[in-house]
Structure 1
Amino acid sequence: MRVGTVRERKDGELRVGLTPEGAHALVLHGHEVLVESGAGAGSGHSDAAYIASGARVVPTAEEVWGTCDLIVKVKEPVPEEYRFLRPGLTLFTYLHLAADRTLTERLAASGATAIAYELVRKADGSLPLLAPMSQVAGRMAAEIGAHLLKHPGPGRGKLLGGVAGVPPGRVVILGSGQVATAAARVMMGLEARVMVMSRDLSRLAYLQENFGGRIGTRVSSPQAVAEELAGADLAILAVLVPGHAAPKVVTRPMVRSMGEGAVLVDVSIDQGGASETSRPTSHSAPTYVEEGVVHYCVTNMPGAVPQTSTQALTSATLPYVEALANYGVEGALARDRALAEALSTYRGALIAGPVAEDFGMEAVPNPFLGER
């Protein structure tokens, strides 16, 4: 199979979908690997390193998209890349289609097969390709939130850990998964006062026990969220319903109640955002102020640390890339239910699932998923 990776076009995105090590592994299996020149530069991988791995470096994205059977990326195609989508092409990347109806329609109409990293789901319910970036995003959310509270800037000028005689700042984390856990760990290290909220009582019990009682936990409800957000210094939103748009669990009045100079970091923005006041931002213009609260809603947060993120992501994705190349797309989907769970478009159709439900679009059943 001919496998390719290209330079990401999304604002501030310096990760790459395939490292030289990954390219070498595919070459050893007898596959041809094409890499757009400069694709790995932002994450520390030179064209020379790809050539040494056995890949072929080509000057344009058009050549990679136009001649490869499988494209391995990091982020969803941006509008300038829509023209490359075609029958016979398989795209393996983060898609987050629930936040982008236009992309969903274009992918389905193109005839391309699209498989979403974030929907690869194992039998135990875990999301192995989302987990590493969730850990990165959670740590970053805590660091960014702490930074945005400081001057210069519109933050209220508060040190989250406090000092002797001055109480620590209040942090509310909505969610209890990988993002929330990573964020809580960093906040605990900063000695902030942390409240983690979720509907999942078993996860709250796990966090309470494993963090030694150094964080507070509370079952999430609209009233409970409103009470905790009132006067909070920092809110980190890490709400996930796999495949669906994120639910709007934070209302505009709740944001207003935080007060001037508070900070909201919406990690759920990839799936549309969990606050009524959230809208997507980019690394070049990451923040805005609404209701007096600083909002950080960058849709590709881990792109700010491309070396760490690329290493973590490609270590997780490579076994699936190898399976797609070694067995063929249909063969790999038939062999691995976890991978089949992530099939989003196939042969000109949207595959039935949460995205189809959210958008009210016509869809077809997943041909690779039988009864468990």
Structure 2
Amino acid sequence: MIIGVPKEVKNNESRVGMTPAGVFELIKNDHTVYVQSGAGEGSGFFNSDYQQVGAIILDTIGQVYAMSEMIVKVKEPIKEEYDLIQEGQIVFTYFHFASSESLTRAMIKQKGVCIAYETVEDEEGTLPLLTPMSEVAGRMAIQQGAKYLEKPKKGRGVLLGGVPGVAPGRVLVLGAGTVGIQAAKMAAGLGAHVTILDVNMKRLRYVNDVMPSHVVTEFSNEFNIRKHIKTHDLIIGGVLLKGAKAPNLISRDMLKEMNPGAVIVDVAVDQGGCVETTKATTHEDPIYIIDDVVHYCVANMPGAVPYTSTVALTNVTLPYVLKLANNGWQSACRMDKSLEKGLNIVEGEVVYKEIIESFDLVAPVLV
């Protein structure tokens, strides 16, 4: 198969869809790999690194799309890429369709085969291709939150770890999934007081077992959320509904109950956000303020640490890329049910239930 790795064009996105090590494995399996010139530079991988393992460097993104049967990338295509996608072409990337009707309708129009990293699901119900980026984002959420709590960044002026004689900062984590666990771990390591909320008692029991005593758990409901936002300095939104839009757990009216200068980091922004006032921002312009509450809602947080993120992503995507390349998407999805769950849009038909429900689309007729 001919596989293309384009340069990411989303604002300040420095990750790349495949490391040279991943390209080496594909070429070892007799596949051809085209890499756009400069695609890996932001992650520390140069044209020469890809050429040394046998990749062919192409000058433009248009050439990569035009000459490839499968595109392997990181972020969803943006408007300037829509028309580059060919009918029947496999596009394997993060899509997050439920948060963007325009992207969904554009991919329907292009009639490609859209396989979304974030909905590939294994037998245990986990999301193996989302996990490493959730780990990065969860840890980064605390780094960014701590920074924006500083007064020059418009925050409250709170040091999360406190100092002797001064109480530590208080962190509220919504969701005890991968993002929430990693955020709680980082916040606890800094010495902050951490409260983590979830509706899954099994997850809360796990948190209690593995976290230190200054990480406390409570069941997630509106009453408890309203209670805690009044006293916490940093709120991390880490709620995920597989393939669907995130629920709004913090409404606009709740912001007035928060301390001026409190910070919200909504990691769920890719899926629409779990705060009513969330709107996607970029690394170039990462925050905005509503009712004196700082909102950090960067939609590609792991893009700020591209070397770590690219290597972590290739580690988990490569086995699936190889299956698709070796067998074609139809046979690969028949053989691997977890990969089959990654199918979102197939040649103009939306085949993922949560996306159909998000936009009141008509489900395909199964013959």
**Alpha-carbon separation, structure 2, partners of 1:352 and 1:285:** 33
1:365 offset after TM fit, Å? 6.4
2:16 is the counterpart of 1:27: no
Question: What is the match of residue 230 of structure 1?
Answer: 230
**Alpha-carbon separation, structure 1, partners of 2:360 and 2:85:** 23
* Secondary structure in 1 matching 2:64: helix
* Secondary structure in 2 matching 1:312: helix
2:300 is the counterpart of 1:334: no
Question: What is the match of residue 284 of structure 1?
Answer: 284
1:151 offset after TM fit, Å? 2.6
* Secondary structure in 2 matching 1:39: coil
1:366 offset after TM fit, Å? 7.8
Question: What is the match of residue 370 of structure 1?
Answer: none
**Alpha-carbon separation, structure 1, partners of 2:154 and 2:80:** 34
**How does 1:168-317 map onto structure 2 within 5 Å?**
168-317=168-317
**Alpha-carbon separation, structure 1, partners of 2:256 and 2:41:** 42
**Alpha-carbon separation, structure 2, partners of 1:116 and 1:352:** 10
Question: What is the match of residue 323 of structure 1?
Answer: 323
Runs (4+) of structure 1 exceeding 6 A deviation are none
**Alpha-carbon separation, structure 2, partners of 1:294 and 1:347:** 42
Question: What is the match of residue 360 of structure 1?
Answer: 360
**Alpha-carbon separation, structure 1, partners of 2:4 and 2:43:** 17
1:253 offset after TM fit, Å? 2.2
Question: What is the match of residue 344 of structure 1?
Answer: 344
Instruction: Write out per-residue CA displacement over residues 273-314 of structure 1, whole angstroms, 9 at most, x where no aligned residue.
Output: 100111110111000001100100000000000000000001
Question: Which 5+ residue runs of structure 1 have no aligned equivalent?
Answer: 368-372
Question: What is the match of residue 93 of structure 1?
Answer: 93
TM-score (norm 2): 0.98
Question: What is the match of residue 136 of structure 1?
Answer: 136
Cα separation, partners in 2 of 1:63 and 1:93, compared to 1, 3 Å:
same
Contact 2:26 2:33 in 1 (8 A): yes
Number of corresponding residues: 367
* Secondary structure in 2 matching 1:152: helix
**Alpha-carbon separation, structure 1, partners of 2:25 and 2:222:** 49
Structure 1 range deviating more: 288-297 or 248-257: 248-257
Question: Which 5+ residue runs of structure 2 have no aligned equivalent?
Answer: none
Cα separation, partners in 2 of 1:289 and 1:211, compared to 1, 3 Å:
same
Question: What is the match of residue 156 of structure 2?
Answer: 156
**Alpha-carbon separation, structure 2, partners of 1:43 and 1:310:** 7
Cα separation, partners in 2 of 1:307 and 1:315, compared to 1, 3 Å:
same
1:53 offset after TM fit, Å? 0.7
**Alpha-carbon separation, structure 1, partners of 2:253 and 2:235:** 14
- Superposition CA RMSD, Å: 1.1
**Alpha-carbon separation, structure 2, partners of 1:212 and 1:218:** 15
**Alpha-carbon separation, structure 1, partners of 2:354 and 2:46:** 39
**How does 1:112-131 map onto structure 2 within 5 Å?**
112-131=112-131
**Alpha-carbon separation, structure 2, partners of 1:337 and 1:266:** 31
* Secondary structure in 2 matching 1:328: helix
Instruction: Report % sequence identity.
Output: 44
1:18 offset after TM fit, Å? 1.0
Contact 1:156 1:262 in 2 (8 A): yes
**How does 1:70-81 map onto structure 2 within 5 Å?**
70-81=70-81
Instruction: Write out per-residue CA displacement over residues 105-144 of structure 1, whole angstroms, 9 at most, x where no aligned residue.
Output: 1101211000000000011101000000000000000111
**Alpha-carbon separation, structure 2, partners of 1:312 and 1:365:** 38
TM-score (norm 1): 0.97
